[in-house]
Amino acid sequence: MKPVYILAIETSFDETAAAVLCNDRLISNVVSTQIDVHKEWGGVVPSLARREHEKLIGGCIASAFKKSGLKSMSQLSAIAVTYGPGLAPALEVGVREAKKLALELNIPIIPVNHMEGHALAGFLRNKHGKRYIDIPDAKFPLLAVCVSGAHSEIVWAEKFGHYQLLGQTLDDAAGEAFDKVGRMLDLGYPAGAIISELAKRGNPKAYDIPRPMKNSQDYNFSFSGLKTACLYQVQTLRKELGKKFPNIIPDYCASVQEAIVDSILIKTSRAVKKLNPKMVIFGGGVVSNSRLRVKARAEMKKLGVPLYFPAKQFCTDNAAMIGYAAYQKFLRGEVLHDVESLQRDPAVNIDSRKYCD
């Protein structure tokens, strides 16, 4: 069978990324982050994200193609691109560049849902055909838990391409909760990794942080109540402790981290108990968190279901995961020949079949 070469592009948030895959094997991967650009603002500014994507996208694509070892872009079978969900101005840059390349090369485009990329990141293979983690081939039905900076979702998958969104965040996502609490504590941006590191020295039971919606029988998340509770707690603690406030930050970070992790696992466990999947896969930037990994492994072991996390390099936004999802779509014939019809969709759900034909 003739090899399928896919150039994938990802610009949904604050990483500009490009990758080239040969079938399901990653042969080049380039990611350029914008963290330093947004750091002074304490979060991602859409207009600045678009500007940076426009500045970086050409170089990322050129670098990924050069590293792939391919001699000519005419060898490409398709262009893959994230079309949503994400920031509209950021998505627009990637979609526009993908359409331009597809038209120039006269090849189809494969629109990929960003969250599908996160869900499937663990199945990536390197150029030698070996998976980056010890994971078997996908066993369906499976449960995918996607927890990123801007999205938190629980997804039921009957097979590749057939997804049902079981639950999602009703307000802030887990990553946003980490960042907003980090801002309250003056920890800098992005705060997730900082909180995780400080939490290693703290007591997770030191402060009472709510687990919103823990008693609701659905699979949705909510982190706004947690954020509000933390805001009032931090204000009170600053007044009470004065100059001694920094001393309690490790304990507070550990307590917040525990609450966020518990919130994710309460709903994940509920879904596993009710639906009995053959495997559970996690994806997204927040699943780099070591405490989440430890507690999730313990909980899924107790429930008797295999659990897998992607390699940490593929947890944050990247084009490799988009390319893998695109290859699965290619095998199903889900490519778009009418390139001009593709539009970015900032709020699309993972179970949307908008561009399946």
Q: Note down pLDDT in tens along the chain; length 357 residues.
A: 799 999 999 999 999 999 999 999 999 999 999 888 887 777 888 899 999 999 999 999 999 999 999 999 999 999 999 999 999 999 999 999 999 999 999 999 999 999 999 999 999 999 999 999 999 999 999 999 999 888 899 999 999 999 999 999 999 899 999 999 999 999 988 899 999 999 999 999 999 999 999 999 999 999 989 999 999 999 999 999 999 999 999 999 999 999 999 999 999 999 999 999 999 999 999 999 999 999 999 999 999 999 999 999 999 999 999 999 999 999 999 999 999 999 999 999 898 777 655
294 and 323 part of one domain: no
- Judge whether 112 lies within some domain: yes
Q: Which residues of 11-32 are buried (b: 16+ CB within 10 A; e: fewer)?
A: bbbbbbbbbbbbbbbbbbbbbb
Asked if the structure places residue 350 within a domain, the reply is no
Q: Are residues 274 and 177 in the same domain?
A: yes
Question: Domain count of the chain?
Answer: 2
For residues 156 and 50, membership in a common domain is answered with no
pTM greater than 0.85: yes
Residues 163 and 291 in one domain: yes
User: Measured between alpha carbons, how far is 22 from 352 in angstroms, rounded to an integer?
Assistant: 26
Are 208 and 250 within one domain? yes
Clarify whether residues 302 and 232 are in a common domain: yes
Confidence at residue 78, expressed as pLDDT on a 0 to 100 scale: 98
State residue 41's pLDDT score: 78
286 shares a domain with 174: yes
CATH of the domain at 122: 3.30.420.40
24 and 81 in one domain?
A: yes
Pairwise CA distance, residues 49 & 37, whole Å:
8
d(CA 272, CA 276): 5
Structural domain of residue 29, as residue ranges? 5-133+314-341
Whether 88 maps to a domain, the answer reads yes
One domain, residues 84 and 149: no
Is 91 a domain residue? yes
In-domain check, residue 13 = yes
Q: Are residues 99 and 208 in the same domain?
A: no
| Closest to 271 measured CA to CA, from 213, 331, 203, 219 | 219
